[in-house]
Amino acid sequence: MRMRRGWEAEARNWARFARTPGHDHAHEELNLPALLGLLPPPAGRALDLGCGEGRLSRVLRASGYAVTGVDASPTMVGLAASHHDRQPVVLADAAALPFRDGTFDLVVAYMSLHDIDAMPTAIAEAARVLRRAGRLCAAIPHPVNSAGDFGSRAADAPFVISGSYLDSAPVTWTLARDDVQVTFHSQHRPLEAYSRALEAAGLLIEAIREVSPVGPATAAAAAADASRWRRIPLFLQFRAVKPD
């Protein structure tokens, strides 16, 4: 399991990065606000699928959701469980969730499905543990984003697909912020891979959002090299429902 091993190795680096305000502008100013606008109102029980060190679980509880986290990394689970604002968290494989059918009203997979080796099985498991009329809400790097890169940091730089957009491929890259360095272990998958997984799990797409730094200036949008991202979306979000 390449990605599971990779994220276990990076768990403490990730926690230092995620818990330092200002290190993740895209999360704070773009991705998270868009996700919160996509979620149904708090009701019943919520599952944070691939919760990592627990940053989204904490936000969900503060927003009124009764949330349980689950992650396959022992170190991530330990970090989430030891935080002063900890939520319930379980060590488990997203592809074999230790919950009964219909346990949750909401499953949130925030920036985790692209890091899960058995993504289609994880979505099937999310559907299984949802009650009827429950929702799965997810955010991933936009598949166009993960398929390539800009030719330079210039605002008008061309975006170049590396290899094939249509073929799934491993993605490994490193980000440095001040004294923190994190290596990301992910998988590029085309949009159809996710839509087919939802279809196979019996979930119906209700909404799709493409998230990029448009609109009022933010720190994420105002960065010297960020204007090119007004042409290519950073993130893809969707909400799907389990038919009643």
Tokens 């799907």 belong to which residue?
240
Q: Is 28:73 a contact under the CB 8 Å cutoff?
A: no
Bridge-partner residues for 140, per DSSP? Answer: 236
pLDDT digits (tens, 9 = 90+) for 136-195: 999 999 999 999 999 998 888 999 998 899 999 999 989 988 889 999 999 999 999 999
Domains of the chain: 2-241 (3.40.50.150)
Long-range CB pairs of 80-84, under 8 A, 24+ apart, other chains included: 80/51, 80/52, 80/53, 80/54, 81/54, 83/53, 83/54, 83/58
Q: Is 240:205 a contact under the CB 8 Å cutoff?
A: yes
Which residues are CB-contacts of 22 (< 8 A; sequence separation ≥ 6)?
28, 219
> pLDDT at residue 225 above 80?
no
pLDDT digits (tens, 9 = 90+) for 193-207: 999 999 999 999 999
pTM above 0.85, yes or no: yes
pLDDT of residue 218: 54
> pLDDT at residue 222 above 80?
no
